[in-house]
Structure 1
Amino acid sequence: MAQVSRRRWAGLVFISVAVALIIVDSTIVNVAIPAIVDDLGITSSEVQWVQEAYTLVFASLLLVFGSLADRWGRRRLLIIGVVIFTLASVGAALATSGELLIAARLVQGIGGAMMLPTTLSLLNATFRGRERAIAFAVWGSTIGGMAAVGPLLGGWLTTEFSWHWAFLINVPLGIAIVVGVLLTVDESRGDAVAIDVLGAVLSVLTVGALVFGLIEGRTYGWLTTEKDLTVGDWTWPWDISPVAVAFVVAALGLVAFVAWGLHRRRTSKSTVIALGLFRIPSFRNGNVAAMVVSLGEFGLILALPLWLQFVLGFEAVETGLILLALAIGSFAASGLAGALSGRIAPVWIVRAGILAEIIGVAAVGFVIAPDASWVPLVPALFVYGFGVGLATAQLTGVVLADVPATESGQASGTQSTARQLGAALGIAILGTVLFSTTSAVLTAKLDDGGVPAEQRDQVVSAVVDSAGGAIAGLAESPQTAAIADDAKAAFSDGTKYASFTAAGFLAVGLLATLSLGSGARREAEEHPVEAEAV
């Protein structure tokens, strides 16, 4: 029995490394982008797609692979995903053009979508009671911590070696995961039922269109076309924005997806999402809370590194070191969450975590200024990371508490998609707040300084379009040094308001947890065998 228990915990280590591989890769590229631009000469449009192609495919396929894992085998799909992800990483490292790099990132997204829901469903099937709560805490803290470690690792690899190693680092990790999972993780499956092909297609179409709209709204325009969308030799020909069309497609796809699912359910056939799961209050309300909380959690990681590098002048490695406080806080929370498991209802741990996030993010907002020091940022980020570590893992436990193990793949895919959609929406909204505020404040400052309208518009466009990267060039010239100071102040205001907006979303997420009860989860921990049979 002791040997079996040790094997389970060893399996948790390799499953956590698989999660770390996904999360690190989604953040490590941001730091390596400048070196990629210099080496491959990619355009600004290609820069966007290098960063966004992964997220788009990843979020679109989570539901599909969460369902397929129950049929094909969760461990098998995890290993296939790791192999695909690792091979795509080699392709990205060896890419000689922007097109090849984007294609490799798309394939990475497929592998990542296979990996994430299967890691969670494997934990749900392997652990019970208090051990499950600890496993979820490790899983969630890995997500929060690796989001901060990614920029540090990317900065170090890019600075000391080259941007290629930002992708090649995945190769030894991928090999270790495959070998470790084969040795320590048992296969598990749900009921073997026919795959809902049309439902899978509709889910990909719906989620893909929605995520595209959320990510690209600020680029192409929310309603009317503000920038041409070009794919190869084809250019979007209409005045109505492709983003608006994407939202219409997503809405129609959602209606069709639900209608088709209800039809399949009435005829006792399988569906991509087990719609009956939404009758479970903890699952339904927990997914709503998870989505809203993600709106605030991930937006800060978008804005803060830009401000640290382009306003305060930190190098990529230094930025990563500052953000490491977030990772340390998240890992510290995992230990506390494990100690509190079984003593305090998980929903109260979730609420405490979200409250800590609100305090940490708000503190970051109050610290931000053009001449700010990094010193007060560290404790604020630690508190924020501590909250992420508490809330993320325990909220996952609450969402899946009453879900039968046979449907854990579908359930975990659903909650992972809810988080990813929340993160995409948060990045879209907070990015808009950051750059819109920067544009408005800088425009006002330059007007007050008597800068001619044409020059003003050029400066504002350069600063905003470069995400702050043009500030350093303005500061180098004595003629534009004053304008650079205005740009730093404006970008600081944008980052400040983005932080406060993130805190606002988290506050809404805290309110959303009020609809979550704690009795079912506590009962599941106290009577794991009975809960498993529910």
Structure 2
Amino acid sequence: MNPRRWWILGVLCLTLLVLSVDSMILNLAIPSLMRDLNADPADVQWVLDAYILVFAGGLITAGSLSDRYGRRRLLVLGLAVLGGASLLAAFASLPWQVVACRAVMGLGAALAMPSTLSILITVFEEEERRKAMAAWSAVGMLGVVAGPTLGGLLLQHYWWGAAFLVNVPLSIAAIVAALVLIPESHAQARPADPIGVVLSIGGMTALVWVIISLPHEGWSASLIVWLVVAAVALTLFAVWESKTPHPMLPLSMFRDRDFTGASLSVVLLMFATGALELGLTQYLQFVLSYGPMKAGLALVPMAVAAAGFNVVGATLGKRLSDKTLLVAGLLVIGAAFGILATVGPGDGYPPVALALVVIGIGSGLGGPAAYTMLMGAIPREHAGVGSAVNDTIQQAGLAVGVAVLGSVLSAAYSGALPATVPEEARTSIAHTLELAATRGSAELADAAREAFVSAMSVVSIAGLLLSIAGTIFALVVVRGRTPAADRPKVDIIG
């Protein structure tokens, strides 16, 4: 057992915090970026999408490379790429430069992310792994809060580039700590799978492009072509991986009911989380008129509850099955969406705070159990690509949730507005409030807030139904135990 394992966990958590903060902090900088760089909405969309496209498209390949060439090596390389691109982005003077830097940052994140979980499962033995995963999961939740809070603080005092510049010292600190504390680990040498790499990157990139473009374009001819490309590439990838003697992604993992059940439950959970991300961030800023920093701080109850109940979930995991904890967590999260569905225009923050606490409790109970089942089904020699599958599942679920539920939120909001509101002001609450300010109409502003609360209730009900669906799926599919299969030994160097 590695005597430095808890210090290593600290480095992995710092890396995860860098990646979580980076993905959350940018949203707050968008208004300043648009003003200072004369960026139009299409530029902004590319700034957001370039990162997601490269990140999600490269995860599985990066995870496979980490197993082959060294997980610490890929972790350090990813952090260096992310930090360097962030430094360049902070001083960009044109929108296309920011887009290019964001794409490179997505590559850095894809290289680093799979190693955070794969190193964890190679360093910790079975009896301590659940506790370590609980800490890892809690830090991921902390990033959701720390990103907006830190971003709000920086943007109150500095220019938009500070949102990128903050990544640099964090990345440097994580690189130094990784080189000092983390031993290198990799699987036994095996032939590369270049065909699998090409098909994986091509298929995932095309699929993510369809997901992020659908809310803006609808089912256009070009988008249908991209969907066909994604389907063909991913089908060929699955066929190839099942035939080749040295696959980058062993599809046998999906024959394990715990792995498949936990994976799809996480997809539904992340899909529902898209509803939370979409609704609450706008509710806090447009309905309650919170500034960016106050809106970030308003999410603190969720992070505190999640951190506390991650410990509770890890402790209960010694007495209860993973299946029981996963089902309990999904049900509790469903209850939180039920609370959000009842929020009225004049209720303010208290019921939202209660829902956030309940979501944190559910995440703390179910999160460590889901990750334990996912990673427990993966042979250690494939820890990197297995971690990448977990990351890809989460990103795909969240992206699809934001795309689909974003359309639901927009349609429900538009339908709840008075008929007198012009079409161009019906697309979002931000546009309606802008029109209300131009007209000096308090009545229109009130109608916009009421319509948004009504739309948020619709999306919250969707989140509730998805949580119930995830619960039913987990009850039917998951066996509730981690298979004690013999796993190949991992070579630890250093």
How far apart are residue 202 of structure 1 and its match?
0.8
Per-residue deviation at 1:302?
2.3
The aligned counterpart of 1:342 is 318
Give the alignment partner of residue 520 of structure 1, picking from 463, 482, 491: 482
Matches of residues 422-461 of structure 1 in structure 2 within 5 Å? 422-442=397-417, 445-446=418-419, 451=420, 456-460=422-426
- Alpha-carbon distance in structure 2 between the residues aligned to 1:476 and 1:85: 40
Alpha-carbon deviations, 1:51-96, whole Å to 9, x = none? 2221111111110011110110001100000000100111111111
SS in structure 2 of the partner of residue 188 of structure 1: strand
Listed one character per residue, the Cα deviations across residues 237-268 of structure 1 (whole Å, up to 9, x for unaligned) are xxx2x22222111111121111222231xxx2
How far apart are the structure 1 equivalents of 2:119 and 2:454? 44
What is the CA distance between 1:125 and its match in structure 2?
0.9
SS at match of 1:399: helix
Query: Which residue does 1:386 correspond to in 2?
Result: 361
**1:299–1:430 CA contact under 8 A, matched in 2:** yes
Question: How is 1:322-337 mapped onto 2 (pairs within 5 angstroms)?
Answer: 322-337=298-313
Question: 8 Å contact 1:31–1:316 — kept in the other structure?
Answer: yes
Structure 1 residues 317-326 or 72-81, which shifts more?
317-326
| Corresponding position of 2:131 | 134
Q: Distance in 2 between matches of 1:392 and 1:52?
A: 27
Identity rate of aligned residues, in percent? 33
1:261-299 Cα distance to aligned partner (Å, 9 max, x none)? 2231xxx2x122112222222222222222222111233
Equivalent-residue separation in structure 2 for 1:532 and 1:513 (angstroms) = 28
1:396 is the counterpart of 2:371: yes
Amino acid at match of 1:284: T
Secondary structure at the aligned position of 2:443 is classed as helix
TM-score with structure 1 setting the length: 0.88
For 1:479 and 1:419, locate their aligned partners in 2 and report how far apart those are by CA, in whole Å.
Answer: 43
The alpha-carbon deviation at position 485 of structure 1 amounts to 2.3
**Counterpart residue type for residue 434 of structure 1:** L
1:249 aligns with 2:249: no
Instruction: Give the drift of 1:432.
Output: 0.8
2:472 counterpart of 1:496? no
User: Contact 1:297–1:388 at 8 Å: present in 2 too?
Assistant: no
Out of 377, 380, 395, the position equivalent to 1:420 is: 395
Asked if 2 retains the 8 angstrom alpha-carbon contact of 1:85 and 1:111, the reply is yes
Distance 1:282 1:473 in 2: 49
Q: Is this contact kept in 2: 1:145–1:385, CA < 8 A?
A: no
SS at match of 1:42: coil
Residue 479 of structure 2 corresponds to residue 511 of structure 1: no
Which among 75, 78, 86 is matched to residue 75 of structure 2? 78
- Give yes or no for contact 1:74–1:121 (8 Å, CA) kept in 2: yes
The answer to whether the 8 Å contact 2:263/2:393 transfers is yes
SS, match of residue 314 in structure 1:
coil
Partner residue of 1:219 out of 216, 230, 236: 216
Once the two structures are TM-superposed, the CA of residue 531 in structure 1 deviates from its matched residue by 6.8
Work out whether 1:261 is the aligned partner of 2:245. no
**Residue 234 (structure 1) aligns with:** none
Which residues in structure 2 correspond to 1:78-477 (within 5 Å)? Answer: 78-222=75-219, 224=220, 240=221, 242-264=222-244, 268=245, 270-367=246-343, 369-442=344-417, 445-446=418-419, 451=420, 456-460=422-426, 464=427, 467-477=428-438
CA distance in 2, matches of 1:320, 1:407: 37
Counterpart CA distance in 1 for 2:381 and 2:333 is 34
For the 8 Å contact 2:273–2:463, the answer to whether it is kept is yes
Aligned residues: 489
Shift in Å at residue 533 of structure 1? 6.9
CA distance in 1, matches of 2:441, 2:148: 31
Q: What is the CA–CA distance in structure 2 between the aligned matches of 1:458 and 1:475, rounded to whole Å?
A: 13
Task: Please point out which of 47, 63, 68 is paired with 1:66.
Answer: 63
1:479 Cα offset (Å): 5.4
Contact 1:152 1:324 (8 Å CA) reproduced: no
SS of match in other structure, 1:130? helix
CA drift of 1:365 comes to: 2.3
Residue 230 of structure 1 corresponds to none
Name the Cα RMSD after superposition.
Answer: 1.9
- The aligned amino acid for 1:380 is A
SS of the equivalent of 2:44 reads helix
* Ranges in structure 1 where 5+ consecutive residues have no aligned partner: 225-239, 525-529
TM-superposition CA deviations, 1:309-344 (whole Å, max 9, x none)? 122211111111111222112111222123223222
> Structure 1 residue 482: deviation in Å?
2.4
What amino acid is the match of 1:338? A
Distance in 2 of aligned mates of 1:19 and 1:186? 18
By how many angstroms is 1:409 displaced?
A: 1.4
The answer to whether the 8 Å contact 2:328/2:362 transfers is: yes
TM-aligned CA deviation for residue 477 of structure 1: 4.7
Shift of 1:532: 7.2
CA distance in 2, matches of 1:92, 1:496: 38
Structure 1 residue matching 2:185: 3-state secondary structure: coil
Query: In structure 2, the residue corresponding to 1:371 is in which secondary structure?
Result: coil
- Shift in Å, 1:405: 0.9
Distance 1:33 1:275, change over 3 A: same
SS in 2 for 1:469: helix
Structure 2 distance, partners of 1:206, 1:78, is 24
**Contact 1:149/1:327 (8 A) holds in 2:** no
Cα distance in 1 for partners of 2:33, 2:302 equals 27
> 1:235 maps to which residue?
none
Q: Distance in 2 between matches of 1:118 and 1:520?
A: 21
Mapped partners of 1:30, 1:365: distance in 2: 25
CA displacement, residues 389-432 of structure 1 (integer Å, 9 cap, x when unaligned): 33223201101213221111121111211111111111111111
Normalised TM-score (structure 2): 0.94
Q: Which amino acid aligns with 1:40?
A: L
